[in-house]
Amino acid sequence: MDLVIARPEGLYCPAGDFYIDPWRPVERSVITHAHGDHARTGNQHYLAAAPGEGILRSRLGQDINLQTLAYGEQVVHHGVKLSFHPAGHVLGSAQVRLEYQGEVWVASGDYKVEPDGTCAPFEPVRCHTFITESTFGLPIYRWQPQAQIFAGINDWWQGNIAAGKASVLFCYSFGKAQRILHGIDASIGPILSHGAVEPLNRVYREAGIYIPETLYAGDVQKNDPLLRQALIIAPPSAGGSTWMRRFGDYSDAFASGWMRLRGTRRRRGVDRGFVLSDHADWPGLLWAIEQTGAERVMVTHGSVGVLVRHLREKGLDAQGFTTEYGDDEEEATA
C-alpha cells in the first residue's frame, strides 16, 4: 500500500489522513519548508520542524494553528510514525519521514546536499520509498563549491567599489539572500537589504545564524556616497522597478542555479550571473537518492521525465508525481 499518493489537493497520506505541502486548503498539513509553493495559507492544522516556526508564522500569519517538532522527534498519528529530518534547503526545511506497518517513506520537499551554515545540513534517511524534487534534474547542472562562488561575488563587489559603482545582487529573498550574506566577506563595504529581505534577515539572526549587519535600503538617501561602496541585496522583482533609480550608476548580478546557462543569464540581462542554488545539482540528486537506499523513487517538480527515465535505467522503480510545486520564484526558470 502506498503511504503517499498524489491528490488534487496535494501529496496525501491515506493511513494518517494528512497532506504534505498541500496546494489547496486542507484539514491537516505537514509542511517541509516555508517557501510559498510548499507552505500555503488556509489549512486548519500545520505541523512543521521547529527551526522553521519563526519564518512560517511571519509568512502565513502569527496565529496559524502550528505544532512543531525538533528534528528527529517522533509523533504517531493514526498509527503513522512521523518525524522531520534536515533537508539543508533553507532555515527550518525538513524531509518528512513516515513509517507505517514496517514501510518507510521519506518526502524530501526541496533539498540541497552542500552544507551552507544557515540551516541544518541535509541528512540522508534510509527508506523504502523516497520522494524527490528534480528542479535541476539534468546533468548540465553541476555546482561549483560555494566558497568559489562567494569569492566571485567578493571580487565583483570590490571591482565595483573601485569603479565607483553600487553592486546590486538579485536573489530570492528567503534562503538565498541569507546564505549569501552569511558567506560573503562583509568587511568589504556596507550591505543594504531590500524591504523583502530585511525581515527575513531578522528571523535568521533570531535563530542564531550569523548574518552580518545590514541596513534597510529604504533608510539610505538617494545619492548618498555610501551607495557607491555598497552591496545591495534585492529580490528579482525589484529589477527594472523605480526602486532601482536611487542607486545611480550600478552593476547588477543575479544569483541562481539557472545562471549556469548562458541563455538564462542573457535573458536576465544582468552584468553577472552567479551560479548558486539552494537545490541539489544532478550529482547531488543522484547521491541523495542513493544514500536513502530506496528502491522506489517518486519524482516531483522539475525534470520529472528525465530523472524518472534515468533512475529506471539504473534499475530503480521510479515514477513521476504531478504536483503544483515549483511555481514559486525560487524554482521557476529565471
Partner 1 sequence: MKAFAELYANLDATTSSNAKLAALQAYFLQAPPEDAAWAVYFLSGGRPRQLVPTRLLRDMATEACGIEPWLFEESYQSVGDLAETISLLLPESTYTSEDGLAVWLEEKLLPLRGLSPQDLAERLPALWAQLDQPSLMVCIKLITGSFRVGVSKLLVTRALAAMAGLDSKRVAQRLVGYTDLSNRPTAEGYLKLIAAESCDEHAQRGGQPYPFFLAHGLSQPAEQFNALLGAPADWQVEWKWDGIRAQLVKREGRLWIWSRGEELVTDRFPELHSLLHGLPDGTVIDGEIVVWKESVQPFALLQQRIGRKTLSKKILDDAPVAVLAYDLLEHQGEDWRNHIQAERRAQLERIIAQCNQPVLRPSPVLTGATWADLAEQREASRELGVEGMMLKDRKGLYGVGRTKDMGLWWKWKVDPFSVDAVLIYAQRGHGRRASLYSDYTFAVWDGPPGSERTLVPFAKAYSGLTDEEMRKVDAIVRKTTVEKFGPVSSVTPSMVFELGFEGIALSKRHKSGIAVRFPRMLRWRQDKSVDDADNLATLQDLLT
Binding-site size for partner 1 (CB under 8 A) equals 22
Q: For residue 15, give the nearest of 33, 25, 28, 24 by alpha carbon.
A: 28
Q: Which is nearer to partner 1, 19 or 143 (CB)?
A: 143
The answer to whether 162 contacts partner 1 (rule: CB under 8 A) is no
Among 102, 187, 313, 322, binds partner 1 (CB under 8 A): 313
Which amino acid is it at 190? P
Among 154, 306, 328, 329, binds partner 1 (CB under 8 A): 306
The answer to whether 303 contacts partner 1 (rule: CB under 8 A) is yes
How far lies 258's CA from each of 276, 281, 291, 318, in Å? 8, 11, 26, 25
How far lies 330's CA from each of 107, 126, 199, 291, 327, in Å? 19, 28, 18, 26, 8
State the minimum distance, in angstroms, from the CB of residue 126 to partner 1: 28
Q: For residue 93, give the nearest of 61, 65, 115 by alpha carbon.
A: 115
The answer to whether 333 contacts partner 1 (rule: CB under 8 A) is yes
Contacting partner 1 within 252-291 (CB under 8 A): 260-267, 269, 271-273
The answer to whether 151 contacts partner 1 (rule: CB under 8 A) is no
The answer to whether 135 contacts partner 1 (rule: CB under 8 A) is no
Contacting partner 1 within 171-230 (CB under 8 A): none
The answer to whether 310 contacts partner 1 (rule: CB under 8 A) is yes
How far lies 137's CA from each of 78, 87, 247, in Å? 35, 17, 37
State the minimum distance, in angstroms, from the CB of residue 24 to partner 1: 18
Q: For residue 124, give the nearest of 14, 265, 285, 235 by alpha carbon.
A: 285
The answer to whether 126 contacts partner 1 (rule: CB under 8 A) is no
State the minimum distance, in angstroms, from the CB of residue 304 to partner 1: 12
State the minimum distance, in angstroms, from the CB of residue 134 to partner 1: 12
Three-class secondary structure of residue 230 per DSSP: coil
Task: Kindly indicate which of the ranges 55-63, 69-77, 154-162, 309-317 contains the residues binding partner 1, using the contact rule CB under 8 A.
Answer: 309-317
State the minimum distance, in angstroms, from the CB of residue 257 to partner 1: 13
The answer to whether 246 contacts partner 1 (rule: CB under 8 A) is no
> How far from chain centre, in Å, is Cα 4?
22
Q: For residue 142, give the nearest of 257, 254, 302, 255 by alpha carbon.
A: 257
Three-class secondary structure of residue 100 per DSSP: strand
Task: Kindly indicate which of the ranges 12-20, 119-127, 203-211, 302-310 contains the residues binding partner 1, using the contact rule CB under 8 A.
Answer: 302-310
> Grid coordinates representing 300?
516531483
The answer to whether 293 contacts partner 1 (rule: CB under 8 A) is no
Task: Kindly indicate which of the ranges 51-59, 110-118, 126-134, 306-314 contains the residues binding partner 1, using the contact rule CB under 8 A.
Answer: 306-314
CA distance 222 to 53: 36
The helix (H) or strand (E) run that includes residue 250 is strand 250-255
Q: Which is nearer to partner 1, 78 or 142 (CB)?
A: 142
Is the Cβ–Cβ distance between 193 and 173 less than 8 Å?
no
Q: Residues interacting with partner 1, by CB under 8 A? A: 138-140, 142, 260-267, 269, 271-273, 303, 306, 309-310, 313, 333
